[in-house]
Amino acid sequence: LVVELMHFLLLKCHSKEPTTKEEILNMVLREDGHHFPEALRQASECLQLVFGVDVREVDHTKHTYMLVSDGHSMPKAGLLVVLLGMTLLEGNCAHEEEIWETLNDMGVYTWREHYIYRDPRE
């Protein structure tokens, strides 16, 4: 259910259309509508971690949702791609100082826990 909901929300995002709770219930969850709150929560977490986007309720009376990005967040997979790319460009050996410079440019600092990556030193 969660994967189907994620796929549906991504399609809606691609077409720049909001979606409603009713539409999600009718098109995705169908007879499993009672799982809506938990499915939406899990799909929201996955979309944030994988794609760096948030599911936001943009109209509370009509229960209308959209995927939004603040433009600054980067999913965990994106961080891995950046670090691997850096390593490859540096001849398969990137220096720690250069890595931290790049991470700092992305808003990841040694002295502050990141909301996605947690403690970046680990």
Same domain, 97 and 41: no
Same domain, 55 and 9: yes
Same domain, 56 and 91: no
Q: In CATH, what number is assigned to the domain containing residue 31?
A: 1.10.10.1200
Same domain, 63 and 108: no
**CA–CA gap between residue 84 and residue 69 (Å, rounded):** 24
Structure tokens at 116: 């996605």
Chain centre to alpha carbon of residue 91: 31
22-49 per-position pLDDT tens digit: 999 999 999 999 999 999 999 998 888 7
Same domain, 52 and 105: no
Supply φ then ψ for residue 58, to 5 degrees: -90, -15
Same domain, 122 and 97: yes
Same domain, 53 and 33: yes
Same domain, 84 and 113: yes
58-95 per-position pLDDT tens digit: 999 999 999 988 665 555 566 776 777 778 777 788 88
